[in-house]
Structure 1
Amino acid sequence: MHAATAAVVRRATEGDPRVAQTLTERPGTGTADREELARTLLPPEVYAYYASGSGAETTLAEAARAWSAFRLRPRTLRDVRTVSTAARLLGTDLALPVGVAPMAFHALAHPEAERATAAGTDRAGGLFVLSTRCSLRIEDVAAAAGPWWFQVYVMRDRSLTRALVERAAAAGARALLLTGDTPYVGAKRAVGGVRIPLSAEHFLVNLAEHLPADPDVPALTEQDPSIDTDVIAWLQEVSGLPVLVKGVLRGDEAVRCLDAGAAGVVVSNHGGRQLDRAVPAALALAEVVDAVGGRAPVLVDGGVRSGLDVLVALALGADAVLLGRPVLWALAAGGADGVADLLDQVRAELSHAMALVGSPDVAALDRSLVVPAPILPEASP
């Protein structure tokens, strides 16, 4: 990020919403700019792996536009000399209600991999969620992280999942995030399969020590398609940690997860990488929030590209928002500094937008601030 822009961001994150307005006047600081830079830096097959969606990529294409399918109804004559983006999530204080979604294999984007992502997230005061399919040992990432959660795929060999979960808990994870929308990995036409080819050493960095002799690795490590909500209690017992379920797009399914003991849910369609034509998370959020009715936190991810998108999500009732691909682009372009700059900018944009809608703190954001509008077609070139 340009040095002057970084200074603006730092001031904005200290509570003065006025300075954030200059961010939009600086070239090269938007999500699209970071993605274009990452595209030039990454091998084509890596960029395609990160950027791709499943099927015809209908869900992928709709994700960001769905957040734009809301219009704001600002309040007027409110004291917004200072604006606080501080939030508390499952007992953890955060500088902003934004975190990094779990994403696989950060070493494909940057040599420091998840260590850099975790460090940059901590520097910005956000929450980091480490993927089961990470590039580094859990303990090495934890040493660089601030508040963090561990994302769980329940594998066919349940003992492998148990081993990783126990290690994450011992390393300081504060919660588990169970991915529930991936009984099978979605096929991605753009990359000719389900995931990028990786060396065994890379893929098994956390699993190798727990495998039996002469293992059938695919058979043991793929997601178990037989799991149901009973696995929530099992994970709680194994880890001693709260378990949230990620991949919820329906109110009744959110209630079903909570009734089974989940500590919260994440409204998500897996970044458009699983079921194509699944409803955008932005359009599913309000139903889930209403069904949960304040019983537990509701988070959301998918297509969030700016602090204004974050504001819409919070106004619709989300307790926090997770960013996915924009973090990978920032990581590829700038390592830990790039991730911190991205999150600082999102916080600055959120602070500025909160001031303009008349909300001095996150608690003042509510459903009265937003109204739905049609999803607009993508602009022609």
Structure 2
Amino acid sequence: MPLPPHLYTLADYALAAQARIDPAVWAWLEGASGDGAARRREEISFGAHAILNRPLADLCGGHTRRHLLGLDLAHPVLLSPLGYHGLIHPEGELATAQGCLETVMCVSTMASRPIEVIAQAAAGPLWFQLYVQSRREDTLRLIRRAEAAGARAIVVTLDTPAQPASPQTLRAGFAMPPGIAAVHLSGFAPAPEASGDWYNPALSRLTAAAPGWGDMAWLRGQTDLPLLAKGLSRADDAVRLMALGWDGLVLSTHGGRAMEAAPAPLTLLPAMRAALGHDRVILIDGSVRSGADVFRALALGADAVMIGRPQLYGLAVGGALGVAHMLKILREELELAMVLAGCATLDAIGPDALTGV
């Protein structure tokens, strides 16, 4: 589909997408835990850092290329795992994969299309996002499917052992429509019996199935693919996990959908980088909405960023072309920030490029 005019920023894409998406689906997409405090903290955290300009720098040979876990990417902006793209576009994840040029799309366990079909349509490399299942044989089945489809890494989401529907979703009366389902989970065993004495019985069921440290060691032994943990916030947990042979982290609040009191991932970056050093990958997602935001994240210690909701904005507005154009905007904005800050390459971006405001 052709793109409408006047799409210059990701904010433009958000406005255009809202006009095209069913209000109940929009509430599902935009919803956050509690009163949305975690998502607001994410947004505010980026504005707390201004970028210092640096004229007179030598910018010859400048580029945005990034080598990441064996992949040579054109830029450091990846697509976060998001479920149910079929709610947004009839081709679902296939269109997203077609528009994800020169970077990584991370396919969700909750995708509405199978990874094998997505891989056939993909314009670039894929990762797979894993929810650990209550039965290890089901978890292993997901890993083997991802490996067979050519996934280049596994991202294990850990921050949502319990994830209630957002108040926005509940108020809108959202329900998953017929024909949209998490296809990777078809035929899997039901959740285990309740365990514990929580007042909310749903928590008893969910915590009975939640993974533990033994599962983390077991996962490392099941695949040679790089393993990234998504959702850790404590440096001591991260150090313990890396000691098991894991390859890195994605700092995230699950789009503000996990704990509403969670800190903004950007604020965790410096301490996490100091704890892990530079031999482990650290990515960040959550409220990255401009190339300047990408620059800020890299300056504070991220190797790359992941983009969540904006990929579905692009998908809603223009299908594969919208996703590709959304990424193009971010890449060009990042290039501009780098030039004005006097940074010819990503490795030249450091904390000295930022100042508090």
TM-score with structure 1 setting the length: 0.85
SS at match of 2:268: helix
Alignment match of 1:156 (pick from 128, 134, 139): 134
Give matches, 1:353-364, under 5 Å. Answer: 353-364=337-348
Aligned to 1:40: 19
Instruction: Indicate the percent of aligned positions where both proteins have the same amino acid.
Output: 38
* CA displacement, residues 312-371 of structure 1 (integer Å, 9 cap, x when unaligned): 101111001000111111111111100000111110110111010001111111111112
Q: Is the 8 A contact 2:49 2:296 kept in 1?
A: yes
Offset at residue 216 of structure 1 (A): 4.0
Aligned to 1:306: 290
| 1:197 correspondence with 2:197 | no
| 1:254 correspondence with 2:232 | no
Partner Cα distance (1:219, 1:335) in 2: 41
Aligned to 1:19: none
Give matches, 1:202-217, under 5 Å. Answer: 202-208=180-186, 210-211=187-188, 216=190
Amino acid of the structure 2 residue aligned with 1:235: L
Partner Cα distance (1:138, 1:352) in 2: 35
Gaps of 5+ in 1: 6-25, 374-381
Partner Cα distance (1:55, 1:271) in 2: 13
Aligned to 2:198: none
Alignment match of 2:266 (pick from 282, 285, 293): 282
Q: Is the 8 A contact 1:130 1:151 kept in 2?
A: yes
Partner Cα distance (2:281, 2:356) in 1: 23
Amino acid of the structure 2 residue aligned with 1:356: L
Q: Is the 8 A contact 1:70 1:370 kept in 2?
A: yes
SS at match of 1:304: coil
Alignment match of 1:60 (pick from 20, 28, 39): 39
Q: CA RMSD in A?
A: 2.5
Change in Cα spacing, 1:87 to 1:61, as seen in structure 2 (3 Å) is: same
Offset at residue 181 of structure 1 (A): 0.5
SS at match of 1:202: coil
Partner Cα distance (2:143, 2:53) in 1: 44
Aligned to 2:143: 165
Q: Is the 8 A contact 2:110 2:183 kept in 1?
A: no
Partner Cα distance (2:90, 2:177) in 1: 16
Offset at residue 154 of structure 1 (A): 0.6
| 1:296 correspondence with 2:275 | no
Alignment match of 2:108 (pick from 131, 140, 154): 131
Aligned to 1:378: none
Aligned length: 346
Partner Cα distance (1:160, 1:293) in 2: 34
Aligned to 1:239: 223
Partner Cα distance (1:2, 1:356) in 2: 32
| 1:271 correspondence with 2:255 | yes
Give matches, 1:113-128, under 5 Å. Answer: 113-121=92-100, 123=101, 125-128=102-105
Alignment match of 1:98 (pick from 59, 64, 77): 77
* CA displacement, residues 240-264 of structure 1 (integer Å, 9 cap, x when unaligned): 2111101122322221221122100
Partner Cα distance (1:49, 1:226) in 2: 24
Aligned to 2:202: none
Partner Cα distance (1:196, 1:284) in 2: 33
Amino acid of the structure 2 residue aligned with 1:101: S
Amino acid of the structure 2 residue aligned with 1:337: L
Change in Cα spacing, 1:61 to 1:318, as seen in structure 2 (3 Å) is: same
Offset at residue 295 of structure 1 (A): 2.5
SS at match of 1:348: helix
Amino acid of the structure 2 residue aligned with 1:93: D
Aligned to 2:159: 181
Amino acid of the structure 2 residue aligned with 1:327: Q
Partner Cα distance (1:92, 1:224) in 2: 37
Gaps of 5+ in 2: 195-204
* CA displacement, residues 1-52 of structure 1 (integer Å, 9 cap, x when unaligned): 998x9xxxxxxxxxxxxxxxxxxxx943222211111111111111110101
Q: Is the 8 A contact 1:53 1:60 kept in 2?
A: yes
Which segment drifts farther, 155-164 or 140-149?
155-164
Amino acid of the structure 1 residue aligned with 2:111: C
Aligned to 1:88: 67
Offset at residue 201 of structure 1 (A): 5.5
Alignment match of 1:330 (pick from 296, 310, 314): 314
SS at match of 2:180: helix
SS at match of 1:115: helix
Q: Is the 8 A contact 1:127 1:147 kept in 2?
A: yes
Change in Cα spacing, 1:223 to 1:111, as seen in structure 2 (3 Å) is: farther
Change in Cα spacing, 1:342 to 1:204, as seen in structure 2 (3 Å) is: closer
Offset at residue 217 of structure 1 (A): 6.9
* CA displacement, residues 125-164 of structure 1 (integer Å, 9 cap, x when unaligned): 1111010000001100111222111001012233222111
Partner Cα distance (2:98, 2:42) in 1: 27
Amino acid of the structure 1 residue aligned with 2:47: S
